[in-house]
Structure formats: structure tokens, C-alpha cells
Amino acid sequence: MRKGFTFIELLVTTTIIGLISVTVTVGVQEAMRYARDIKRIADVGTIRTGLELFYDTNLFYPIDRVPGPDGLFLGQPETKVLSDLGFASMPGGSPYLLTVPADPLENKQIIYRSLQLDGKDCDVPPCHTFELIFELEQETGGLPQGRVGFSPEISGAAARAVRGSLPVVSFSFGRAVTLGAVRTAEILAETARGVADNPNVETAATVIVAPAATAAVVANAVTLLPLARIPQFLIYFFSQPFLLLFRKRRRSYGIVYNGLSKIPVDLAIVRLRDLRTNAVVRSAVTDPHGRYQFLAPPGTYRLEVAKPGFDFPSDTLRGRKEDGQFIDLYFGDPIRVEVGEGLTKTIPLDPLGADLPDRTLLRSDLSRRLRHGVALSGVALTAGTAIAVPTPPVFILLGVHLAVYLIFRRLSEPVRARGWGTVYDEGSGKPVPHAVLRLFALPYHKLIASAVSDVHGRYHFLVGQAEVYLTVSKPGHIKTETDPIDLSAAAGPTVIANDIPLRRERPIQLADKEPSS
């Protein structure tokens, strides 16, 4: 029995990946040109509509203010708005286009020319027609490649002034956009068919890539999913549909939160235990906001909470009735329910994060990044298989694989907050990557969380109504501790994203030896 792939199989697979890359790149570039042309045509239609609105109000078109046939470049800082002042940098009077589109490429322009009815330049109002000039990168929607000029058809100035009707355009913008979009899809389809019709690609994908992609679906899910959290995931998946069905019957909820950071704890298992029978009568998993819901029949109960990395009941806050915005704190006491009612206890948990050595935290961060890289590579492998073997089972496998990846990535890590702080070198001002940051709660001086700055020196922590401080350490730098950060008056969870300077350690200088006597 052989193990892994042979050298020939790896060589064939690598070659096929190269062929796919070249073919797809060429096809995608052509599709991007079509997409830009579609946008140009749509933008010209938008400008034309704004000009007609201008005409309906003023009974003439704006002048281009450029002597000669060159015309006015649209979408530039000085022509980004169309109002009663014409194309300008700021609106004046009634606005007709608050944002005038520019060409998708910087080296190309959409040009506006104001004209007289005989086709000559109009430099003094009133101007009764216009021309919009743009350049297509290739034939799109029935329009030729190269410079295209659009001008409304006018059957008579007097009749137009009396009717005030819109001009008849020389081609349909909507039809051009639709045809261009269809052609873009055709290009991508032709690229995929070209790859799929290659017999070598199909054979290798069927023999090697498809089985590997199938195994990757399972392997990547296991890679992303911490085994200790499997019970939470299963309960969460099975309980959420029922919570949605019966949400209207519930009028209140309880909250589970981190007693040090004051942040709600999601995916915590909350159990309702009957003290008379010692049986668990209800189980729920907290949502992303730490909320849970129970509708209990009459009886005496106790709530229990289980979450890896946390301890219940909280010893830090034991005996307290309130904790800032959190009230009615619960520490495992019996609960008497007289009539069927919802339980709304607020449950603090103590984090069990041990103050691990810097080396351990750095290894853990590297391991996490590698797991995500492996998981994402599996999705790419399945996508390549779908291109090589475009059959319904493979496309179903791709959809399932992508869904599994997104779901388990979301459930395996907390949602990242917006905003970043930076750890930087005090002397050079450059970011310091892979620095270890620790967040501590005051007045307990207990560790809340740890993080490692990324390659750009960025980090962040999410904290509720609490008072905290940070420590930062990095080999070759002096360990730094920030001043206390008081967030007790914050309206809700706040991102701690302070820029923190690190000072380099000075090299130890050996004292000069005294000369011997």
C-alpha cells in the first residue's frame, strides 16, 4: 500500500494547476474589460438622465466652458456635480447629479460637449443639444470598440421647446448593458469549458483532486473545530430553529457575560436543573449577544453554565447584586418558579485564562494561522475540481465545503471588532510584529485575554464597562505597562485600540578593565 502521492502525480497536478491559472487569467482579464465597458455605458446613461433633468428645468443644456472641440472631462474634482451651475465642483441651485461618474480607468475619460443644433460648438447659452464621448475597450452590447459618441436625435427645436419631451436616443443603454453582461458570463463559461475539456485535467481531477477534495471537507472542518466545543455547536444548531419558531412567545431573556471584561459570552451551554429530581429539564446555547431563554413550569430549579475557558459560578463577583449595567446577578442559588414564567438571570463567568509564557502564546497564534490556511486551501482545491469536472455532484460538494468552512470559522473564533491599535518601536516608529499583549482587569489584576500583534503590529481587544490595563512584551524590547483605561462609563462594548510604543533594550556594555598595578 502506497502512502501519499507519487512524484509523477504531483508533477502532473502542478502542471495542470499552471495551465488552469493561465487559462483562467486570460479569460478573467477579458471579462474585466467587458465589465468596465458595461459600467461606462451605464454611467453615460446616468449622465444623460441628469442632463435631461437639467433641460426640463432650464430648457437648455449646460455649456462645457471649453473653447473648441475638446470638451469637458467629467467625474473630475472640478466636474463632479451637475446642478443649475452646470458641471462644477460644488452644487448651486437644484442638484441633478450629486456624483458625476468618471471613467473606470484613469487614462480614459468621459467627455461632454455642448453643441448647437447644427452640430457646431456652443460656448454661449442656450445650448440645445450635446455629445457624450467615451471609449470602449472592445465591442460591447452592439457598440463598436474605440471612441463612441452619443448625441440625442432632435426633430426640430421649436417642436422640442413646445413639447418639452425627452429626446430619442440613438441606441438603448439598457440593451447595451444587458448584452455586455451576457457576454461577460459567456467569456467566463468559455474559459471554464476550455479547462474542463482538457482530458488530462479531467483525468487528474477525477483520480487525484476529487478524492482529495472530499477528504478535505471533513479534514478542514475538524481542523477549524476545537473538539472541546463540539457539544456547544450541536446544541446550537439543533436549538436555534426552535427558538426562531417560538420567539414570539418569549418576552424576556437572560445574559451570560465575562465577569472581568464585561463582554457577553456566546456559545455557552445553559442548563436548567430540577432540584427535586436532579434532572436537566432544559438546555440552551447563548447567542452572539450572550442571551438565553427559558420558559419554566412551576418548580424549584438551579441554573448551570458550561463554557470552555470559563468558570461558574463567579468567585470574583460573588455576593454582588449588580455589576455596572448588569443587574440581578446569579451565582447558582435555587430559583423558585410559581407560575410558568421566563428566567432572566444575569450570569457572570470567571475567565480561566492562565498567564502562559510568551513562547506558548506565539506558537498558539502560529498554529491558528496555519489551520486557517489549510482550511482555505481545501476550498480552493474543491473549486479547482469543479472547474475541471463540472458535474452536479462536484458543484454540490463545493457548496457544502464553502458552507462548512464559513460556518465553522465563525463558530471557532469570536467575531472580530472593528478598529485596530498598533504596537510600534519608539525609536524608529516602525510597527512591531509578533508582540505579546495581555489585558488585565482592575482592581483584581486578573488576566482577561491575550493577543499577538500581526505582521503590521496591529491588535485589538473588546471590553465592556470595566477598568483595565495592558502589558506588552517582545524580545529585545523593554516590557511596557499602560496606564489604567477606565471604560466604566462606556455605553457598550468598546474596542481598545491604543497605539503603544515599545522601547528597545540597551545592549549591556562591559566596563573597561582597570590596568593592573
Q: Could you state, in order of their start, the residue ranges of all structural domains in the chain? A: 12-184, 199-239+363-415, 250-351, 417-507
Which architecture, in CATH terms, is 250-351? Answer: Sandwich (2.60)
Three-class HEC string of 358-411: HHHHHHHHHHHHHHHHHHHHHHHHHHHHHHHCCCHHHHHHHHHHHHHHHHHHHH
Q: What is the pLDDT of residue 109?
A: 92
Q: What is the pLDDT of residue 372?
A: 72
Q: What is the pLDDT of residue 465?
A: 83
Q: What letters, b where the CB count within 10 A reaches 16 and e where it falls short, cover 308-335?
A: eebebbbebbeeeeebeebeebbbeeeb
> Nearest Cα to 151, choosing from 65, 51, 80, 64?
51
DSSP states of 252-274: --EEEEETTT--B--S-EEEEEE
Identical fold for domains 250-351 and 417-507, yes or no, is yes
CATH value of 417-507 in 1.20.1290.10, 2.60.40.10, 3.30.300.130, 3.10.129.10: 2.60.40.10
Question: Quick check: 180 and 34 in contact, CB under 8 A?
Answer: yes
Per-residue pLDDT tens listing for the chain (517 residues) = 344 444 544 555 566 566 566 665 666 677 788 888 888 888 888 899 899 999 989 899 999 988 888 889 999 999 999 999 999 989 888 889 989 999 999 889 999 999 888 888 888 888 989 989 999 888 876 778 888 888 875 433 333 332 333 333 344 455 555 555 555 555 555 655 555 555 554 554 554 445 555 555 455 544 444 444 444 444 444 444 444 444 434 346 889 999 888 889 888 888 889 998 888 888 888 888 889 988 888 889 999 998 888 889 998 888 888 888 888 899 999 998 887 667 888 999 998 765 678 888 788 778 777 777 777 777 777 777 777 667 776 677 778 777 777 766 665 555 555 678 899 998 899 999 999 999 898 888 888 888 899 889 999 888 888 889 999 999 999 999 999 988 888 877 888 888 999 999 876 554 444 454 4
Contacts of 269 (CB under 8 A, 6+ apart): 231, 232, 235, 283, 284, 285, 305, 306, 307
